[in-house]
Amino acid sequence: MRFARFKAMVILSVTFVSCGKDTPTNPTPLGSVQSPFPSTPLLAEQRPPSPVEQLTMTGVVVDDDGGAIPSATLTRWFGFYEQQKVSTDGSGKYQLQFSASRGSESGPPGAQDAVAFVTLEAPGYGLMSQYILAPANEFVHNFRMHRIQRIVAGTSAEITVAPDDSVCGWDWSPGRETVCRFLEISVPASGTLTVEVVPLDGFSKVARVEVWNELQGVQANPASLSASAESYTHVTVAVDWGATQNQSFSIRTSWTR
């Protein structure tokens, strides 16, 4: 059972409402914000949930270099509703104890038996969200978070999307998920920003590119949109759900007044 969910939706709604009035002079980067565009449905087999079980989930939250991330916040959701929140300790370790039935948070293929949907937040890192499978009543699930990658308009960057990166979606209807990475582009003055995402090899394939800021949002590749002075534009690079290999891309930007 899944519905539209989680704090990123609230953050995004507040961002659009508040930024529609005035151009911010000291913008706060919003690397954890997800965009409002739906993706292509990929329906999973619907199966009835199994009996409720008592589960204990432990693990560690690390960064790209394998270093522990202390004080990361893990939130377990059921539909719209926040069910549980814990923080990692100084070694990046956490523990969640909860009751759930297998399939109660059913996702797309490979995640039909999910027992939970979890989001992670930490200062300086992009939002992470994942379906959780429970191979046993007591199990380990580790997370890897990425530091928010920021570039200046007119420059380029490379980004790699791994199979275990964040689940992305907006309305969270069954099968609309992808896997994605986020990037932010700072704009020094008002003008038009163009973003193009180019695969770096023959295997990598872009499923969707979303570019948005306080003025507008665009789902296209390449994408062009207006940007205010001293603001951030957010880019989501998504690959198809079910990918089994890392996929790498060059993000190329240009900017004109």
Considering 144, 164, 189, which residue would you say is the last residue of a domain?
144
Q: What is the structure's pLDDT at 182?
A: 93
- What is the spatial distance between Cα 194 and Cα 190, in angstroms, rounded to a whole number? 13
Mean pLDDT (the chain) is: 83
pLDDT reported for residue 41: 42
**Of 82, 114, 144, which residue is a domain's last?**
144
- For the segment 182-211, the average pLDDT, to the nearest whole number, is 94
Position 56 in a domain:
yes
Q: How confident is the model at residue 35 (pLDDT cuts 50, 70, 90)?
A: very low
pLDDT of residue 173: 58
Residue 133 sits in the same domain as residue 167: no
Query: Tens digits of per-residue pLDDT, 156-169?
Result: 999 999 999 999 87
Are residues 204 and 231 located together in one domain of the fold?
yes
- Mark whether 162 and 249 lie in a shared domain: yes
Give the model confidence (pLDDT) of 115-156 as tens digits.
999 999 999 999 999 999 999 999 999 999 999 999 999 999
The pTM (predicted TM-score) of the whole model is: 0.78
Which domain does 170 fall in, by range?
30-41+149-256
pLDDT > 90 fraction of the chain, expressed in percent and rounded: 69
Considering the domain architecture, whether residues 157 and 247 belong to the same structural domain is answered as: yes
Q: Answer yes or no: do 185 and 65 share one domain.
A: no
